[in-house]
Amino acid sequence: MHLSRFLPAVAAVVLLTACDLSTEPNIPAPVDPALDTYATSLGVNIASMTKTASGLYYKDLEPLVTTGVAAVVNDSIKADYILWLTNGTKVDSSIDNGTPIEFRIGDTDVIPGFSEGFVGLKPGGRRQLVIPTQLAWGSRGSTAPGKPTVQPNANVVFEIKFLSKF
């Protein structure tokens, strides 16, 4: 007789326990680029790349450019790029769009790792970048209209080419 009074309360507790009442979005944890998995098609060999103090990984690509003045912070440059997710999905490309990007190195209009990747590169030079989430779009990801879609806390891979200063 007493059980019938408690049965609805027990059912409610069981139901609430089974429900996830969290209002936090389901955001994946960041992954150290050295421990991330890369699609074979990207040719990423993190062990052969240079790691900067900020955590950016880069590798100069052939043919190596040895002449010209290297880019420095505050230079305004024109460049081509291809952006991939680590699974090999191409997200964006100035080459496909037919329009090189123009920006000032260090400007906040581009992600910090992309900007940093040009420092020390000479006109005509190419690099592969592995940009950790904290130098890319971070925990917010990128879903803005007209911008590439990148999930939260994603590391990304770029191939960049420094075309010229302007």
Give the structural domain span for 148.
28-165
- Say whether pLDDT at 26 is over 60: yes
CATH of the domain at 42: 3.10.50.40
Q: Confirm whether 52 is domain-assigned.
A: yes
**Burial (CB count within 10 angstroms: exposed 0-12, middle 13-18, buried 19+), residue 100:** middle
Q: Confirm whether 124 is domain-assigned.
A: yes
- Render pLDDT for 95-111 as a digit per residue (tens, 0 to 9): 999 999 999 999 999 99
When pLDDT is averaged across residues 44-63 and rounded to a whole number, the result is 96
When pLDDT is averaged across residues 49-76 and rounded to a whole number, the result is 95
Q: What angle do CA 37, 132, 118 make, to 5 degrees?
A: 115
Map residue 83 onto helix, strand or coil. strand
What does the pLDDT read at residue 149? 87
Q: Confirm whether 11 is domain-assigned.
A: no
Is residue 9 very low, low, confident or very high in pLDDT (cuts 50, 70, 90)? low
Is residue 22 very low, low, confident or very high in pLDDT (cuts 50, 70, 90)? very low
What does the pLDDT read at residue 127? 98
The DSSP 8-state label assigned to residue 150 in this structure reads B
- Taking all residues of the chain, what is their mean pLDDT, rounded to a whole number? 88
- Say whether pLDDT at 71 is over 80: yes
For residue 159, the surrounding DSSP H or E stretch is strand 156-165
**Number of domains comprising the chain:** 1
CA dist., res. 76 & res. 101, Å (int): 10
